[in-house]
Amino acid sequence: MRATVTLLAAVLALLVMPVGAAARQQAGCPNDNAGFILVDLQTWWDISVDGFETAGIPVYVGGDPANGFTEEFDAFGAAAGFGDGQGVYDYVWGPQWDVIDKGGDGWACMKPRQLSGGNPGYNFNGVDNVSNAG
């Protein structure tokens, strides 16, 4: 009798499950050989900060976010059309992430590009993790 009740509860749970929930893909990136890594927004930003610094643009005064953005980062933001460093930050944390995280689950796949004169350290490839789960 107890097994029948457990089985019935499991069947009822499946019946009330939203359509598509059972088939939802897990977060993942293209195969490991492609060079993509799974990141959340904070990690995306942290890697971006490292990329700016690799390109010779210090982001935070004294390396500490509590101290605000450097003059160099503010100048970069102004030259790129974002007004200042805060504008770059707001773009990365808003519109840029929203375009990449199409699934809206808070995860994306990031791939650093090879550094070159035309490809600075803060340029990355980004794709949604769910649409690329395999």
Yes or no: say if 58 and 74 are a contact pair by the CB < 8 Å rule.
Answer: no
Q: Where are the domains of the chain?
A: 28-128
Instruction: Name the amino acid, one letter, at 23.
Output: A
pLDDT for 131 equals: 63
Lowest-confidence segment of 78-87, 88-97, 105-114 by average pLDDT: 105-114
pLDDT for 36 equals: 87
| pLDDT 10s digits, 112-134 | 777 666 777 777 788 888 764 44
Q: Is the pTM of this model over 0.75?
A: no
pLDDT for 6 equals: 33
Q: In this model, does residue 18 exceed pLDDT 70?
A: no
pLDDT for 31 equals: 66
| pLDDT 10s digits, 32-85 | 667 888 999 999 999 999 999 989 999 999 999 999 999 999 999 999 999 999
